[in-house]
């Protein structure tokens, strides 16, 4: 599973299996929960043990899918 987040300036952030949003593993987040997270002002992304904060006003849309192994 992965989540690709696209920002308003055309960049993208790809979150793989081990990533977390607000401390929740992305494998346990539903599409509905993602929409709710984006209604907050800021979300915490953890990727490769690095944590950073993203202003949700800068997020254009997201896409969820299954990674190919």
Mean pLDDT, residues 8-15 taken together: 94
pLDDT-based confidence at residue 67 (cuts at 50, 70, 90): low
What are the tens digits of pLDDT across the range 38-48? 999 999 999 99
pLDDT-based confidence at residue 68 (cuts at 50, 70, 90): low
Q: 2-65 domain in CATH 2.30.110?
A: no
Q: In the beta sheet, which residues pair with residue 62?
A: 5
Predicted confidence at residue 22, as pLDDT, reads: 95
Mean pLDDT, residues 11-17 taken together: 93
């Amino acid at each position: 599973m992965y989540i690709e987040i696209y920002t308003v300036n055309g960049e993208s952030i790809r979150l793989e299996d081990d990533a977390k949003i607000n401390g929740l593993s992305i494998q346990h987040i539903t599409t509905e929960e993602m929409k709710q997270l984006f209604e907050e002002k800021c979300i915490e992304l953890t990727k490769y043990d690095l944590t950073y904060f993203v202003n949700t006003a800068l997020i254009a849309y997201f896409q969820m899918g299954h990674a190919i192994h």
